[in-house]
Amino acid sequence: MTAVGLPQSPLIVLRRVRLVDMDAAARSYIVQRGSSATPELREKVRAIVAEVARGRDDAVRDANQRFGGGLSAGSPGPSRLTLDRATLRAARDALPTPLRDALLHMACNIERFHAAQVPAPEQWIDIGPGIRVGRIWRPLDRVAAYVPGGSAAYPSSLLMSAIPARLAGVREFVVASPAGRDGTLSPALLGAAGLMEVDEFVVTGGAQAVAALAYGTESIGAVDKVVGPGNAWVTAAKLEVFGQVAIDMPAGPSEVMVMADDSADPAHVAADLLSQAEHGPDSPALLVTTSARLADRVIEAIARQLPDLPRQAELRASLSTAGLIIETETLAETFDFVNEYAPEHLSVVVEDLDAAQAAIRHAGSVFLGAFAPESAGDYATGSNHVLPTGRLARAYGALSVESFGKWLQVQRVTREGLASVRATVAVVAEAEGLTAHRRAVEIRFESEANET
């Protein structure tokens, strides 16, 4: 792999490689990207989960003291781990008008998109005379959304979980989020919780939050499912408690891939990569392009834009650690690599967008065209930004209404219907050595045979 320094910012190094020059090991390293839950981390998280399951409220408070995430003495309810609805409503009413309007606009778009996902209450199929099989939609009773916090607050993530949950018909919706480093909670986050009429707000973060939601404590009721993104500790904890509760997916550090050809504006591409770099050095930001000329111009554009942005040190570190430009020979090669990588976010700026859409199989959320930046989807288009990371887009999709419910499978069978499958059950049950299964069918016809 070769590295190209940004001409006007020598302290930044953005790796640049040609796909054709990469051997299998180098390609696998990029595609697999570091696991968000190493064995060492899993072991630490396992210990925290066990402590919370055993020590309950006291263990959560102790974890908050050790790792951060609890309220300071000057915050509302510092001795409590939960905030009531009155506190959330007060925060809602205190929202500045521009922010409140923006959150409501965002919520309107999210609801409009997700409303189309609400399943029909029942689905029935007549398999044959006397056999009717169906599915009945049942929302979950109590679901919790983890909303990242600490260094930043994400009211947008709260809306992304709350709105589909309500549309699904969830009875109780809980939010867990840590307080900031100063021990206070973001007024924007609390206001968003008030707008969404959150039933319970749990003030804790990391592995202890997930454990408390899974097992319950004296003041935190256990839930049926935990959804939402988080850091490596949250992701590992969700994997640890899976089985005790359901989870949506192990949604770890954010990632973006920009797929572009010569038609792309390098300034736009650079801005998209920089917006991803804001997430931190564990968040991949990749450009995959057939154009070496575009790659050169994107590097130059990053160097021009960077000095105007805050958090210089973090951006430089992130680009050096997780930034990468991959040059490909053909669009077909590009599509193959995109599908192999299965990015969380995929921005596509090529001349033939229809062909690109048809070729893309694996990505969490796709942004087609020069005027579809990832940040538009993060906040305002109505699509969901809780997405699969770390190649899980090969099998998972975005958080949706369906994530907050389940299908209850139902069968209605008459005597005529059972008679029509009687022989099939008998033969297959005998082949599997499950004689009692056959007997459960046959016994229903024996009384009639004896009567005759």
Catalytic residue among 345, 362, 374, 385: 345
Q: Sorting pLDDT into bands at 50, 70 and 90, what band is 418?
A: very high
CA contacts within 13 A on the Cβ side of 329: 5
Q: Is the pLDDT of residue 238 over 80?
A: yes
What's the pLDDT score for residue 283?
Answer: 85
Q: Is 278 annotated as catalytic?
A: no
Fold of 39-120+138-249: Rossmann fold (3.40.50)
Residues 80-102: what's their mean pLDDT? 95
Please give the average per-residue pLDDT across 164-169, as a whole number: 98
pLDDT at 10: 45
pLDDT at 449: 61
Instruction: Judge whether 246 and 225 are in contact, CB under 8 Å.
Output: yes
- Tokens 């607050």, located at residue: 153
Q: Give CA–CA dist 107/158, Å, rounded.
A: 10
Of 3-12, 250-259, 429-438, the one with minimum mean pLDDT is 3-12
The model's pLDDT over 284-318, given as tens digits with 9 standing for 90+, comes to 999 999 999 999 999 999 999 999 998 888 888 88
Q: What is the pLDDT of residues 333-369, one digit of tens each?
A: 999 999 999 999 999 999 999 999 999 999 999 999 9
Residues shown for the chain: 452
pTM: 0.90
What is the rounded average pLDDT of the residues 205-216? 97
Answer yes or no: is pLDDT of 156 > 50: yes
Q: Is the pLDDT of residue 8 over 50?
A: no
**Percent of the chain having pLDDT more than 90?**
81
CA distance 67 to 44: 12
pLDDT over 90 at 250, yes or no: no
Cβ contact 301:7 at 8 Å: no
Instruction: State the span(s) of the chain assigned CATH 3.40.50.1980.
Output: 2-32+253-396, 39-120+138-249
Task: Kindly name the residue from 344, 362, 374, 385 that is annotated as catalytic.
Answer: 344
| CA angle (251 as vertex; 247, 256 as ends), nearest 5 | 155
pLDDT of residue 13: 65
The residue among 46 and 318 whose pLDDT is bigger is 46
What does each C-alpha distance from 175 to 214, 235, 382 come to in angstroms? Answer: 13, 16, 20
The pLDDT assigned to 75 comes to: 62
The per-residue pLDDT for range 317-340, each reduced to its tens digit, is: 889 888 999 999 999 999 999 999
Domain 2-32+253-396 has CATH 2.60.40.10: no
In contact, 63 and 202? CB cutoff 8 Å: no
In DSSP terms, which residues pair with 128 in a beta bridge? Answer: 131
Residue 68 confidence (pLDDT): 87
* pLDDT of 4 above 50: no
Residue 345 a catalytic site member: yes
Asked if 266 contacts 303 with a C-beta cutoff of 8 angstroms, the reply is no
